[in-house]
Amino acid sequence: MRVLVADSFDSSGLDALAKAGCTVTYRPQAKDQALVNEVAAAAPDVLIVRSTKVPEAVLAAGPLKLVVRAGAGYNTIDVAAASRLGIYVSNCPGKNSIAVAELAFALIAALDRRIADNVADLRAGVWNKGEYGKARGLFGRTLGLIGLGGIGSAMVPRAQAFGMPVVAWSRSLTDERAAALGITRLGSPTEVAEQADVVSVHLALNGETRGLLGADFFAAMRDGAFFVNTSRGEVIDQPALAAAVRDKGLRAGLDVFADEPSGGQAEFHPAIVDLPGVYGTHHIGASTDQAQQAIADEAVRIVRVFAETGTVPN
Ligand code: MLT
């Protein structure tokens, strides 16, 4: 198999592909037209990407048979065009759940203690113990989860370890599962907004979830509550969140944004990150060594299964 890896990828995965007999072309910087050119030149059977976007022009540029998304979500790949062209798309679900949950918790704690503002003041030579002596604390505060797949589920024991009761909404959550997890099932995202001190979003992006959390949702949130999104920027109405930050004193931790760049380094400045009370990070939820190693292992497994059977496991 000829495999083009067009994103940063754990070196163990590159070695494993080579050991499996694949001819590997590693082009982590290839984006947009450069990626189209690489696909045309390398004529790969398989394309592996993480954040690199894969539109129809890339899919149609060479003899691709399989695109592997080195992550759980696959909204950055034109799956409809891939289906039309007879190209498989396979993802790596569940491999980075703990890493993303850890970042969500880091953002929650950082918002409570205003860590980024603390750091900035001290760097500017300002000692401000009075200003930063007013955190609310997390113990006893209710965490509301929107979405309870692998990542949402990984949030539950972490919240419980912090002494936070958990309420959750997910389309597929049953009372039995909620009882087994020791959490409370709610009937809608709005109910979560009403009952939680901290809301954390863990939804896949699809036709049902795009724009799901809008002005009504943010209006239902408690004044001064925290909102954390480590899933996809497109599931929220960002201007509506910005208005709620300004009008209701919400604090927000955002790892994801609508129309993010195709990975790597690029100019990108979503207006909301300039608001006081908003901490933005660079879609780094899955960016731990452990998660990227597990993702690379799974991506290699997918390529092997495809080479052996002509079909994909995910
Ligand atoms: C995912 O879809 O699993 C994440 O967005 C991971 C990533 O940052 O690549």
CATH of the domain at 130: 3.40.50.720
Residue 32 Cα to ligand 1 middle (Å): 19
Nearest CA among 150, 149, 197, 200 for reference residue 170: 149
Q: In whole angstroms, what is the distance from residue 159 CA to residue 246 CA?
A: 27
Tokens 């007999």 locate to 21
Which pair of tokens denotes residue 132?
């930063």
Looking at the structure, tell me whether residues 63 and 179 fall in a common domain.
Answer: no
Kindly report, residue by residue over 192-247, the tens digit of the pLDDT. 999 999 999 999 999 999 999 999 999 999 999 999 999 999 999 999 999 999 99
Q: pTM value?
A: 0.96
Say whether both 104 and 41 belong to one domain: no
Question: What atom of ligand 1 comes closest to residue 92's alpha carbon?
Answer: 3
| Atom in ligand 1 nearest the alpha carbon of residue 295 | 3
Between helix 115-123 and helix 97-113 the angle, nearest 10°, is 60
Task: Tell whether 132 and 246 lie within a shared domain.
Answer: yes
Question: Does a structural domain hold residue 141?
Answer: yes
153 shares its domain with 115: yes
- AA letter at 136: R
Any domain includes 225: yes
Whether residue 171 is contained in a domain is answered as yes
- Binding-site residues, ligand 1, Cβ < 6 A: 50-51, 71-73, 96, 283, 285-286
Domain that holds residue 186: 97-280
User: If you average pLDDT over every residue of the chain, what do you get?
Assistant: 97
Query: Is residue 210 situated within a structural domain?
Result: yes
Q: Both 66 and 114 in a single domain?
A: no
Mutate to test the pocket of ligand 1, among 5, 9, 50 (most ligand atoms within 8 A of CB): 50
User: Does 154 share its domain with 266?
Assistant: yes
Q: Does 146 map to a domain?
A: yes
* Residue in 252, 312, 301 with CA at minimum distance from that of residue 277: 252
**One domain for residues 15 and 164:** no
Atom of ligand 1 nearest to the CA of 74: 2
Residue 314 lies in a domain: no
- pLDDT computed for residue 44 by the predictor: 98
Same domain? 145 vs 71:
no
The answer to whether residues 229 and 265 belong to one domain is yes
**2, burial (CB in 10 Å: exposed 0-12, middle 13-18, buried 19+):** middle
**Domain-embedded: residue 33:** yes
User: In what side-by-side order are the strands of the sheet with 226-229?
Assistant: 184-185, 166-169, 143-146, 198-201, 226-229, 251-254, 278-280
Residue 263 counted as domain residue: yes
In this predicted complex, what is the ipTM? 0.93
Domain count, the chain: 2
How many CB atoms lie under 10 A from the CB of residue 150?
17
Report the C-alpha gap between 238 and 290 in whole angstroms.
31
Which active-site residues does the annotation give?
A: 232, 260, 283
168 with 233, same domain?
A: yes
For residues 297 and 243, state if they share a domain: no
Report pLDDT for 133.
86
pLDDT above 90: residue 75? yes
pLDDT at residue 47, as a whole number: 98
Encode pLDDT of 237-276 as tens digits.
Answer: 999 999 999 999 999 999 999 999 988 889 999 999 999 9
| Same domain assignment for residues 121 and 29 | no
